[in-house]
Amino acid sequence: MKSATICLLLALAASILSWRIASGDSVARVAYPEGYRDWTHVKSALTSPQHASFASMGGFHHIYANTRAMTGYRTGEFAEGSVIVFDWLQMEEKEGMFIEGPRRQTDVMVRDPKRFGATGGWGFQRFVGDSKTERALTPSSDQCFACHERLKKNGLVLSSYRP
């Protein structure tokens, strides 16, 4: 009886793991990139209230890259260990001036072809607000990859560096 219960539990665990992998909930996770604001600032953008998606994505968007990713921006080839961070901040207007508000989210791309082969060699993760641990349920890595693959430019990196 005891071995049958253990076998049943192992089968259940294997089924759950298979379902998570099949549904795009990758076991490999992307870590929060500590200190990314000290990296190279690639560029910024501002989504204003006139944009259709302002309520969900409006505000300041800053992109940061570590040293390896900066080499990739310059050459078009992103080596293993490249990390790109997309920092989303709400926008506030104060006395006719637009200023950064609270952080909406932090999106991270990590180049590691061995761990993230199913998503073009990149791991994708969205962290909620200012949290370094709370991961957003959507978009999934597969959803991020689908968009990056569809809009493919330099090695699935949608942004570019302006020297």
For 11-62, how does the pLDDT look when each residue is reduced to its tens digit (9 = 90+)? 443 443 343 444 444 457 999 999 999 999 999 999 988 999 888 889 999 9
Q: What pLDDT score was predicted for residue 7?
A: 41
* Superfamily of 29-150 according to CATH: Cytochrome P460 (3.50.70.20)
For 71-101, how does the pLDDT look when each residue is reduced to its tens digit (9 = 90+)? 999 999 999 999 999 999 999 999 999 999 9
Q: Which residues pair with 59 in a beta bridge?
A: 47
Which range among 3-7, 10-14, 103-107 shows the weakest confidence by mean pLDDT? 10-14
Q: What pLDDT score was predicted for residue 163?
A: 83
- Give the domain ranges of the chain: 29-150
